[in-house]
Amino acid sequence: VLPFPSQVVYNRVGKCGSRTVVLLLRILSEKHGFNLVTSDIHNKTRLTKNEQASMELIKNISTAEQPYLFTRHVHFLNFSRFGGDQPVYINIIRDPVNRFLSNYFFRRFGDWRGEQNHMIRTPSMRQEERYLDINVCILENYPECSNPRLFYIIPYFCGQHPRCREPGEWALERAKLNVNENFLLVGILEELEDVLLLLERFLPHYFKDVLSIYKNPEHRKLGNLTVTVKKTVPSPEAIQILYQRMRYEYEFYYYVKEQFHLLKRKFGLKSHIRKPRPRPEFFIPSPLETEEPIDDEEDDEKWLEDIYKR
């Protein structure tokens, strides 16, 4: 019997399926009896120097009743740097341009829940800004559609250092290092069912039966309510510009995707890894299907035990 982590942090990246996963976690926490600690802070991903020095957030997390799973939109925190026990981190990312587009239209028009949550989240947004054409925003280089706003995913893995918010190699490499050293799993939203399968394998105390719950028609109905509405597809020219502006985000995305596919193969899930195209396929959603397992003779239980001990 492998030991299971009693402290898990899901520092969820915005618009990467996190609301779907949190819905699942609420069900799972009642089913399996772990402490789900959620934060009502949604728009503060970075801590000030004083907040880092006081270690208030880390203390609050560390003193939660174990086993716990803490979730919040927050950039990576190194607990051990402040004398705390480093928890197990998990996260999910998605194609960077698709994430950006989902966020762009969600801020303006919300989702199918019908609670006018876009007006709650962006009450001061002027009408001309709310209805700003996405192509105009990109092609005319509005702040919302250019760096550093587009440098969004990497800081969640790079951390709290000021340089983590600067698009460049330093933040990229530090994010990769943290993925390797501090994250048990970083999944890909386009392959969510496989992400859930691996979470159930790695963290059964938290995620046992997650896939059957996810596939339940009633849960699917709830999940569909969180789909962003009024999304439109930018022109090919605008998408190409976004792709160039987000080149570091894509380098990180492809790195994580490759690692995720290697992990899937190790645990018997087939993947067809293709070389990156000149620009991503934004118009064809990836199927959320799990293929037949393949034979794997490696000692994956030993590998998993080593992960827990790191």
DSSP reduced 3-state for 71: strand
pLDDT at 47 over 60: yes
Q: Which DSSP string do the residues of 162-207 spell out, in sequence order?
A: GGGGS-SHHHHHHHHHHHHHHEEEEEEGGGHHHHHHHHHHH-HHHH
Task: List CB contacts of 251: < 8 A, sequence separation 6 or more.
Answer: 172
Residue 51 included in any domain:
yes
The total domain count for the chain is 1
Residues of the domain holding 156 = 7-267
Amino acid found at 111:
D
Residue 309 included in any domain:
no
Which CATH number goes with the domain that contains 69? 3.40.50.300
Catalytic residue flag (residue 32): no
Residue 273 included in any domain:
no
Residue 259 included in any domain:
yes
* Tens digits of residue pLDDT in 122-177: 778 888 889 999 999 999 999 999 999 999 999 999 999 999 999 999 999 999 99
Residue 293 included in any domain:
no
Residue 218 included in any domain:
yes
**Contact between 25 and 196 (Cβ < 8 Å):** no
**Cα–Cα distance between 279 and 244 in angstroms, integer?**
9
* Tens digits of residue pLDDT in 53-101: 668 888 889 889 999 999 999 999 998 887 788 999 999 999 999 999 9
pTM: 0.84
State the average pLDDT over residues 20-35: 95
Per annotation, catalytic residue among 32, 73, 161, 219: 73
Residue 117 included in any domain:
yes
